[in-house]
Structure 1
Amino acid sequence: MTTRTMNVRIPEALYGQIEELARATARTKSFLAIEALKGYVESESWQVRDIRAGIAEADAGDFASPEEVAATFAKHGA
């Protein structure tokens, strides 16, 4: 796997927590940072996918009819 370097400034307290966790788990700070970033990116990426899909639908003219919108609002009590 090819890697790249990224420098990040973090609060001192967070750095201390990462050091403590690294010692407790016998992992490197880099490993913990990579795992944390992977988790964040995975959990947030759905938003980008959904936005892009919505834009593609709008560009294709795929909109809900006024009746479909009213039925959805009625279904959810709005």
Structure 2
Amino acid sequence: MKPITAKPMTVRLPADLAVQLEKLTRVTGRNKSALTVAALRDYVAAEAWQIQDIEQGIAEADRGEIASADEVNFFFAKYGG
């Protein structure tokens, strides 16, 4: 099995968050790095849909699948905005 490589990263935390993280390390027995990686993995997974939607929108625009200015103006005239 190939070893996992990691890149170091420095992060400045607000004092209250640093205190909470320190408490979690004591309670869980996990180090700050492991807790931070777990939190970032969860956040990135939860936000990944945005990347997919943006890439899909760009692909649609590249194919010309976008509304014309007249269609957009009609929509806002009809539904407000």
State TM-score, norm by structure 1: 0.77
Aligned alpha-carbon RMSD (Å): 2.0
The answer to whether the aligner puts 1:44 opposite 2:47 as a matched pair is yes
Match of 1:28 in 2: 31
Aligned residues: 70
Return the offset for 1:48.
1.3
Alpha-carbon distance in 2 for matches of 1:33, 1:62: 41
Return the offset for 1:12.
1.1
Q: Is there any run of 5+ residues in structure 1 with no aligned partner, and where?
A: 71-77
State percent identity of aligned pairs: 48
Match of 1:62 in 2: 65
Match of 1:9 in 2: 12
Return the offset for 1:62.
2.3
Alpha-carbon distance in 1 for matches of 2:51, 2:34: 26
Q: Is there any run of 5+ residues in structure 2 with no aligned partner, and where?
A: none
Moved over 2 A (4+): none
State TM-score, norm by structure 2: 0.75
